[in-house]
C-alpha cells in the first residue's frame, strides 16, 4: 500500500504544481521595471508561500527557471536581494 501511494504522489504533485503555475500566469503579468510591479518577491519567498499551501520539496532553482522561461524579470533590490517583478493581471 505504501509503495502504491508513493508511486501516485509524483503525478498528484505535478498536477498541483501545474495548477499553481497556471494561477501565477493568469493572475500576474511579467514586467521589466520595479515601478511597474505591484508585487515583488524573491524566489525563496515565492517557494515559501507555495509550501504554506502545498508542503513539498519545491526547488527554488526550478521556480526561478520557470519564471525566467515564462518572461518574468527580476531586479537587484540591494545587498544581492533579487526580487521577481509581477503586475496584477487586468
Please give the pLDDT value at position 14. 65
Question: What is the tens place of the pLDDT at every residue in 39-87?
Answer: 999 999 998 888 887 777 668 888 899 999 999 999 998 888 999 999 9
Give me the residue label for grid cell 496584477: 88
Residue 60 grid cell: 527554488
Q: How far apart are CA 49 and CA 27, in angstroms?
A: 15
- The percent helix, strand, coil of the chain (3-state, each to 5) is 55, 20, 25
Identify the three-state secondary structure at position 90: coil
- Checking if the pLDDT of 22 tops 60, the result is yes
CA 58 to chain centre: 9
The stretch 3-17 carries a mean pLDDT of 52
In whole angstroms, what is the distance from residue 24 CA to residue 60 CA?
A: 15
Global confidence as pTM: 0.76
pLDDT recorded at residue 16: 77
Q: What is the pLDDT of residue 82?
A: 95
Does residue 12 have a pLDDT over 90? no
> In degrees rounded to 5, what are phi and psi of residue 17?
-65, -35
Amino acid at each position: 500500500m505504501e509503495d502504491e501511494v508513493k508511486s501516485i504522489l509524483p503525478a498528484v504533485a505535478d498536477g498541483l504544481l501545474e495548477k499553481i503555475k497556471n494561477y501565477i500566469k493568469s493572475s500576474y503579468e511579467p514586467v521589466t521595471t520595479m515601478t511597474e510591479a505591484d508585487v515583488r518577491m524573491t524566489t525563496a519567498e515565492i517557494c515559501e508561500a507555495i509550501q504554506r499551501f502545498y508542503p513539498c520539496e519545491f526547488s527554488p532553482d526550478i521556480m526561478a527557471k520557470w519564471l525566467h522561461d515564462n518572461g518574468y524579470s527580476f531586479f537587484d533590490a540591494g545587498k544581492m536581494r533579487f526580487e521577481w517583478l509581477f503586475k496584477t493581471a487586468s
